[in-house]
Structure 1
Amino acid sequence: MSGWRTVGGVLLVALTAGCAAQVQQSRPVAVEKPAEDTPVTASSATVAPAQLGISVASIVDGRAVMLSDGSKAEVSGLAQPGPCWAEAAAGFAKAMLLNQQVRYDKTTGALTLADGTDYALLALGNGAGRIAGAPTPVQKEAEGAAQRVPMGLWGTPCGGKDALETSTAPPPPPPPPATTTPKPKPPVTTTAPKPVFYASCDDVRRAGKAPLYWGQPGYRVELDDNRNGVACESRY
């Protein structure tokens, strides 16, 4: 079961703990030994659940990570990041997954956080991923939410494209030589903006900046309790 929540005009995706995406740890069940003349069918085999107790050791790109057991997890349903938004997608994956415990189903390619959140839906809903293959209705809805804002790869500068278009028009002719020597212009000094840091969500709310979205000045994973890309969400 999936849930949708609108925060600050952004439709976010989250899976409840009871959803099928969260794989429960199997319990051993006593099975009576079948009689010798009783055939054993394929339905009696136990299917191994997604491995538990592993964490993300490093980020390969926006759709692939290296797990603590040394294996590579490639999330199904997400396209290979394009050059325009690959860096942002990898940054989102790092903020949401690095050093976090996850579940990875090698059969389906589903990667879920410890609380059952489907990472593919989380990336699609925040504009940090694009649908690949035959999408499910909930994946279409998550991607559509990011497109409507627009945010992430759907916003500036990519505009939903994998790479920025380059102009093929010839360069303009050089200007005619100046007859007089222009006066040198004074050097332009620019002051780098001061970094924004909030020690707590109370500071964010006092500054009138709550909620903070991933990529905005002052956003930190430490302020994002449920790691859904939105820090200091409303308490009500």
Structure 2
Amino acid sequence: MSGVVLAALTAGCTVQGHQSTPVAVEKPVEDTPVTTSASVAPAQLGITVASIVDGRSVMLSDGSKAEVTALAQPGPCWADAAASFAKAMLLNQQVRYDRTTGALSLADGTDYALLALGNGAGRTTGTPTPGQREAEGAAQRVPMGLWGTPCGGKDTTETPTPPPPPPAPAPAPTTTKPTTPPKPKPVFFATCDDARRAGAAPLYWGQPGYRVELDDNRNGIACESRYSTGYR
């Protein structure tokens, strides 16, 4: 009897044990929610660039402004060139703008910041990524865009300082030529009487009209006083 009862209890425990074990049941496939967070291609967003503000800012077709934070504010020297590049690449094109990161992408997914940096139409700012530094470095090595002439990588062109005017020529020295005494006019007296009548007697050696022939005593004085010895 005891053996039979034990078997019955054992059997009862066994059945009871099977009934208390939970069985996992999978949910039907149709109850599984469908994931809707897949990324949408930029070209399908329907947002286009309506106008260009400057080399890093544009107005979108939804009325909002998109500013590429990876690009520095264009400097006066290269601002026009940067705006022209943005116009050629973005105007009326479909884009995708991430307002959290400030990244602007073209329809094919091209990052506009890298495009502008690689063509010298932009300069990095803040903490650039390795890709942004590489793109900027490539434009610098050419150099092209803002890294070339006339900006040379600077925001403003330096106005060359005009050379100082040449010194005024020194006035020509006024050299006073020595005054040459005019040569005396030749005078000839045939006789001492002629010299006396002209008021020129006596005639000293070197004076106009002096002649040895009128100087009898050869003392250098011709036509001496008539009272002197040997006058003529």
TM-score, with length taken from structure 1: 0.52
Aligned-residue Cα RMSD (Å) equals: 2.9
What is residue 102 of structure 1 aligned with on the other side? 95
Name which of 124, 129, 140 aligns with 1:131: 124
The whole-number CA distance in structure 1 between the counterparts of 2:126 and 2:104 is 17
Shift of 1:172: 2.3
Shift of 1:166: 2.4
The whole-number CA distance in structure 2 between the counterparts of 1:91 and 1:175 is 48
Q: 1:84 and 1:165, CA in 2 relative to 1: closer, same or farther beyond 3 A?
A: same
SS in 2 for 1:96: helix
Amino acid at match of 2:33: A
Shift of 1:171: 5.0
The whole-number CA distance in structure 1 between the counterparts of 2:99 and 2:65 is 10
Larger Rg: 2
Amino acid at match of 1:154: W
Shift of 1:30: 2.4
Is 160-169 or 147-156 further displaced after alignment? 160-169
- The structure with the greater share of residues assigned to helix is 2
SS in 1 for 2:82: helix
Asked which structure has the greater RCO (Cα within 8 Å, sep 6+), the reply is 1
The whole-number CA distance in structure 2 between the counterparts of 1:125 and 1:69 is 29
What is residue 12 of structure 1 aligned with on the other side? none
SS in 1 for 2:105: strand
What is residue 30 of structure 1 aligned with on the other side? 33
Residue 155 (structure 2) pairs with residue 155 (structure 1): no
Residue by residue over 1:121-172, the C-alpha shift from the partner in whole angstroms, topping out at 9 and shown as x without a partner, is: 0000000000010000000000000000000000000000000112456752
What is residue 66 of structure 1 aligned with on the other side? 59
What is residue 196 of structure 1 aligned with on the other side? none
SS in 1 for 2:51: strand
SS in 2 for 1:91: helix
The whole-number CA distance in structure 1 between the counterparts of 2:168 and 2:142 is 42
The whole-number CA distance in structure 2 between the counterparts of 1:77 and 1:71 is 18
Q: Give the gaps of 5 or more residues in structure 2.
A: 1-31, 170-232
Residue 81 (structure 2) pairs with residue 88 (structure 1): yes
Q: Give the gaps of 5 or more residues in structure 1.
A: 1-28, 33-45, 177-236
Amino acid at match of 2:132: Q
Residue by residue over 1:150-207, the C-alpha shift from the partner in whole angstroms, topping out at 9 and shown as x without a partner, is: 000000000000001124567526988xxxxxxxxxxxxxxxxxxxxxxxxxxxxxxx
Residue by residue over 1:16-52, the C-alpha shift from the partner in whole angstroms, topping out at 9 and shown as x without a partner, is: xxxxxxxxxxxxx9279xxxxxxxxxxxxx7997892
TM-score, with length taken from structure 2: 0.53
The whole-number CA distance in structure 1 between the counterparts of 2:162 and 2:77 is 22
- The structure with the greater share of residues assigned to strand is 1
What is residue 165 of structure 1 aligned with on the other side? 158
SS in 2 for 1:57: strand
The whole-number CA distance in structure 2 between the counterparts of 1:174 and 1:99 is 60
